[in-house]
Structures are given as C-alpha cells and as structure tokens.
Amino acid sequence: MIEQSAFPVEPWHVRETRLELDLLAQSESLFALSNGHIGLRGNLDEGEPYGIPGTYLNSFYEVRPLPYAEAGYGYPESGQTVVNVTNGKLIRLLVDDAPFDVRYGQLLAHERVLDLRAGTLTRTAEWVSPAGRRIRVRSTRLVSFTQRAVAAIEYVVEAVDGPVRLIAQSELVANEPSPPRSADPRVAAVLEDALVALEQDAHDNRAELMHRTRASGLLMAAGMDHVVEAPGPVSVETRATADWARSTFVCTLEPGQRLRIVKLLAYGWSNLRSRPALRDQVAAALTGARQTGFEDLLAEQRTYLDEFWDGADVRVEGEPEMQQAVRFGLFHVLQAGGRAERRCLPAKGLTGPGYDGHTFWDTEAYVLPVLTYTQPQAAADALRWRHATLGLARERAATLGLRGAAFPWRTIRGQECSGYWPAGTAAFHINADIAAAVTRYRSATGDDELEAEIGLELLVETARLWMSLGHHDAEGVWHVAGVTGPDEYTAIVNDNVFTNLAAAHNLRSAADAAHRHPGLASSLGVTAEETAAWRDAADAVHIPYDAGLRVHQQCAGFTRLPEWDFEAHRDAYPLLLHAPYFDLYRRQVIKQADLLLAQHWFGHHFGDEDKARNVDYYERRTVRDSSLSACIQAVTAAEVGHLELAHDYAYEAALIDLRDINHDSREGLHIASLAGVWTALVAGFGGLRNDDGVLCFSPQLPEGITRLGFTVRWRGLRIGVEVEHGQATYTLRDGADSSLVFRHDGDEVTVTTGKPVIRRISTRTPILPRPPQPPGREPGRRRASERSSGGD
C-alpha cells in the first residue's frame, strides 16, 4: 500500500515527498493529467525509470481478435484496446556527459505535487551527477481544459555550484515498448508496434509525426514546439524519423544560471478526416498555444478550475484524509469527462491501460450522477456519445434476436467487446442505466432540449429491448428471466431486483417522454398501444421477496441458495481469481452491492424496515471484490442509521487509489469509486435524493465529520448545503430574486437568493444493530484501526 508518510494529507494537493521506485506505477496513475481528450500518465520527464509508460487519446484504439476455445452464435469476434500513442512528455537531460537519471549519481531531493486548483503537476529535484555536477530541475506540466488539443511542459534546469554543459533532448516517440504485464484478466492486452508511420516533419523548434493504427485504421497526429530561454547562446537541432522526432538544445550555464524550455504539445485523431486536415489541426493548435504562452495557459487552467470548484467542491471538516480524497476524486472525474466531448468515459479515465481502456455501465451509474449535479454539460456530452452508438446497439439487439437496442457491456467505440457473455451480454441492465442517466439529467437540469435531441430515442429503443426480454406470466405478473444484475457473482438469474426495477423505470420514463414529445415519438413509430404496454409491464413487474426472512431476494430464489463458506476463503480475495465461477454462481456470495443499489436508486419501493433488514442481510454476504461497492454500501448504511459503518465505507472508497487499497492502482485509477466518494458524502451523509423531480435532502453526520458542505446544480441554480450535527443550512447562490422549493427530512422548504434557511436535523435511530461483514472483508478504516490497537 502507499504509505501516508510518502504522500502527506493536504486539502488541495497530492504531494509525493520522496521518490519510491517500487511505487512508480501507482504514482504515475495518481499524477496523471487529462482533459477527457488527452491523457498523460505521471511518468518522470526523462522517461526512465518508469512503471507503465502511457499517453492516451480518448477512444483511440486498436482492434484485436477475441479467441474462443468453443465459439457460439452472437459471440463478439473482436475486442478493442486503447493505444499508448506518441509520447510527447519526454525531455532527456545530459549534464556534461552524464544522463540525468534518478537511479545514478545522488538524488538529494525529489518532490512532485498535483495541484487540484491549478490543474498542474510540478516536480522539483536536486541531483549530483556521478562526476559531481550539481543541478536543480523544476518542471510544470498541464493538459489544458481550455485548449482541448494542447498539453504543455515548462522545464527549468539550474546550475548550482559550478559551470555545467547541458544537453536537453525533447522528443516525440511512437511505439514505445511496454513492460511485461500482469496475468490478471482485468488488465489491458499488450499491443506492440500498433502505430504505422505515415508522415513526419521537422523544422526549427517544431516537429510533427502522423500515424495510423494497423487494424482499426484510425489516424492520429502529434506535434511539439518549443520556446527556449538561456543567458547565453543555445544550439538547436531538430530531426524526425518514422517513429520519433527530437529537438536537441545545447548550452553552458554558470552557477545560478538557468535553462528554461517550454514544450508545447498538440494531439489530434480521427476516423473521418483526411491526413492534411488532421496535420493542419495539430499545427494550428501548436500555433495557438505558442501565441497564448505558458503563463496564460496556466491562468486559463486556473480560471476554468476556479469555476468548477465554485460549483462542485465538497468541504469535509474533522476528516482531513476524506477532504483530500473527495477533491482528488472530483478532479479526476472532471479530467475523465470535462472535455471528452462525445467520446466515452473509460473506467480508468485516461490514467492507465486497465480494462483495455473500456467504458462500462460505471459511466452512467456512478460518474454521470456526479457530472449531472456539478458539470451538467459534460454529462450531456456523455449521453450524446451513447446516442452516437445507437445504430451499433440496434445491430447487437438484432443479432441477439431482440427488438430495440442492446448497448454493450464493455466497449470503446460502441461494439460489444466482452467475450464472457454471462457477465457481459447477459447484464442487460446497462440499457436501463443509460435510460436512468437520461431521466436524471432532464430532471436535475430542466433541459427538455436534450431529451428531444437524443434522450427520447434512447428511452424508446431501450424500452423496446425490455419488452422483448420480459414476459407476463399466467397471472399477469411481468418477469425478466436469464439475466445478470450488477452482482457478477450471481449470473443468469430470473427477476434480479435491480434489473427489474430499472427496467420498469425505463419503461415508464419512455412512455412519459413519448407523451411530452408526441410528434417525435410518432416519427419513431411509437403508438398509444405501445406506450400502454410499457406502462402495463412496469406496473406488473415482479419483485422477489422472502416472507419468512422478511428480506427482498436479490433475484428469484437467492435466499434459498447454499451459503458460501466465507471462513475457508478469508485469505482468497478477490474470489474470481481463487474460485470457479460455477461455484460462485450457485451460492449466496455477492461481489458488489446489487440489491442495495436497487434500494438506493429506487428507494420508494422499499419501506424503512425493509431497508434495514436488507442491509443487515446483504452486508453479511457482500465481499466487495469490486471497487463499485463501498460507496453504495456507504449510502445504504447511512440511510438506515449505521453512520459509523457508512463512514468506514466512504473512507474505503475515498482511499482506494491514494492508498492503493486494492493493490491495482498501477493500471489506472478507479474513476467510478472516486466519483462514488461524492455520492457517499452528498447522497449518504447529505441525504441527496431526486424524488420524481423533487430535490430532497435528509442529512446526518457520523461522529468523525464535524461539518459537511457541498453545492449541487439544480435547474440552472446552485444550492449550497452546510450540514452540522443537529442542523443544516441551505443557501441559494444564483439569481437576484430566485427561489427554489425542495424537501428537508420530508418537509417542503422554500429558499430564496440571499436568505439562507436553517432546519433542524432529525435523529435517525437504527432499527437493527450494526451488521457484520464476511470474515476478512470488514471496511478498510475499521480494519486499520483494529491493527493499530493490536487487533487482527
């Protein structure tokens, strides 16, 4: 795990106080910079040593075959893997004739800082070469939110105690070799020499390279330009070959003198535009960045982030680690989706190659709720991307013998890339998750235009899918058989509660939207008979319930399955790597919150006692082998009054990458879990709910948090919420004479601009005692505290 001593807790920074070579890959993920279009892993400027080199362009992928020992009808034939594109981060440095390499000579000091307000990664190092030459190096790196195609690096070298001759080599390198990868099936496939060289150009301080992928045929271009300052003359040479370009700068410094290089980078890719058009786009971006200048790029970045934080910041008093973590999470959620602009939002963002760079249902279920309430235009663009893949989803549904659209379980471009159909194709709930994201966006923003533009069609086609999947039995009850819910350890089941409730919500939402847009609905072939059938199915949906145990069944018959022997497997997590899926599927063991997610999303279907008993029952069987689980368990535990348990789960979700809790952050960050920290705090302790278009809060804090503050965007307004023990204060921040009606603890409240409203918080007493978890799977915070006090 990453120790706090190397990464101290600060409210607005992630600071690495010393360089730990065995944590390079993890720190590269933590320090990754992105704007949703370009992603740069936090590799050292000189490129070596490294954990995993990585430069990514959103949705730029290569096709690879999906081999099967026994193929079957409808199996996807090919997969898609994100490509490590041309690396522009490299600036190699020679001091006299010695390469600056932290593994040689003497590294006197080394620090890196991710500044969450400035949107920069800075690095400072003091180094003595094997020959005794001492230098200081400071670099500042950014990926611009305002100039989407641009990244920039300021690299400054200072001679300390004697004259030095410096040679700086700034490079573009394509087809970088990658290190050997883990055998874990979740990691990305290795692609070697994925890029075919097309064009290269070098002149003055500038160079461009253009490549295409071998199989997918995508074009990309990368360019670099430089501004160089030194007290004396600087010799410059720029060259380019098929897979690399290099600008070399040579100068001599006296003690106290500095060489400053500003490296400007531009990236673009397309599957439609011509080579000249793409080349000119990159050249124009470089020219624009050069005209802006590095200082103004920094100023633009700060202004963009100031506006973001003004409407998105979460303030946590009494819990410094949580304060740092929620801001770190929000920053990386913004980096994943802020300027993605109709591209997918990968599960790892653009921080690493994990999951092959694929997007999953995580986007709509975990990331878009955060963006909807903090950066709604980014959420709208993500939904537009899904709509852009609707044709492929229709083709997939037809292949499966279904109507409507079947969106892929995992993909980059829109085709299904999961070769394991029980957890992939059968997890049809992703279609209802997309529909839920559409309705959530409209409800929270009041934007009917997006519904007319793309939302109605998404709702209609997913509703049609459910009607061809579900069926009415002889008593008129509507069932969905043979599907996989969010819990991937319980596959191919009947009447998964989350799936059924999500499908019913999808059907009702489609009928309501068709009623709001009758002309558009008619053009899609929607009839009154069809919408009536949707409503009938939604009203008759089956929700399995065990009357003897008085709990909802995750799926039909779940509570009658054999129990899992948790004690025998307490040291064998994640279970999917230590037990056959066959055995997992037939027992009561849960990978991630499933029934509890249904309880969070569709809470009005569950009474207070039902919620308490469900939490008690499923807590004992959920092993959290998925990073998607802890934040949802935090919300549901808080709702039933287990505030300290909720705090433990929120802490685990928050520290998943900052402390590398799952030991897999080297492959990239867990963007959904980072988004889930916001959900755990704002929905869990702030009690945020969207109840059929009504904004609701039901706040309550655990003992360790003394004050919680956050802002949500609601229909063009921002409402600030400050929660203390015993009371909550609501402030409307926009408009001279605006007002907003919402609910606090079930009571209707009206707040107007400039007139904060204070309400008392009702105490939520748990109906049942705090439930235990499976042996060895207690939340991370409690386990750490037990270890520190001498416990197991």
Active site residues: 488
Instruction: Please state, in angstroms and rounded to a whole number, the distance separating the CA atoms of residues 1 and 22.
Output: 11
Task: Give whole-number Cα distances, 783 to 20, 40, 790, in Å.
Answer: 25, 34, 11
Q: What tokens appear for 299 in the block?
A: 């100023």
Instruction: Please state, in angstroms and rounded to a whole number, the distance separating the CA atoms of residues 485 and 676.
Output: 19
Instruction: Please state, in angstroms and rounded to a whole number, the distance separating the CA atoms of residues 690 and 663.
Output: 35
Give the sign of the dihedral formed by CA 212, CA 213, CA 216, CA 220: negative
What size, in residues, is the chain?
792
Centre a 10 Å sphere on the Cβ of residue 540 and count the other Cβ atoms it contains. Answer: 16
Three-state DSSP at 201 gives: strand
Instruction: Please state, in angstroms and rounded to a whole number, the distance separating the CA atoms of residues 701 and 763.
Output: 10
Judged on CB neighbours under 10 Å (0-12, 13-18, 19+), 66 is: middle
Instruction: Please state, in angstroms and rounded to a whole number, the distance separating the CA atoms of residues 155 and 230.
Output: 12
Centre a 10 Å sphere on the Cβ of residue 378 and count the other Cβ atoms it contains. Answer: 24
CB half-sphere exposure, 426, CA atoms < 13 A: 22
**The residue to which tokens 């992703």 are assigned:** 430
Instruction: Please state, in angstroms and rounded to a whole number, the distance separating the CA atoms of residues 496 and 486.
Output: 9
**DSSP letter string over 578-604?**
TS-HHHHHTSB-BSS-SHHHHHHHTGG
Q: What tokens appear for 251 in the block?
A: 């100068």
Do strands 739-744 and 694-697 pair parallel, antiparallel, or not at all (unpaired)? parallel
Chain center to CA of 164 = 45
Three-state DSSP at 766 gives: coil
Torsion of CA 608, 610, 612, 613, to 10 degrees: 160
Report phi then psi at 364, rounded to 5: -75, -30
> Among 386, 300, 267, 382, which residue's Cα sits nearest to residue 336?
382
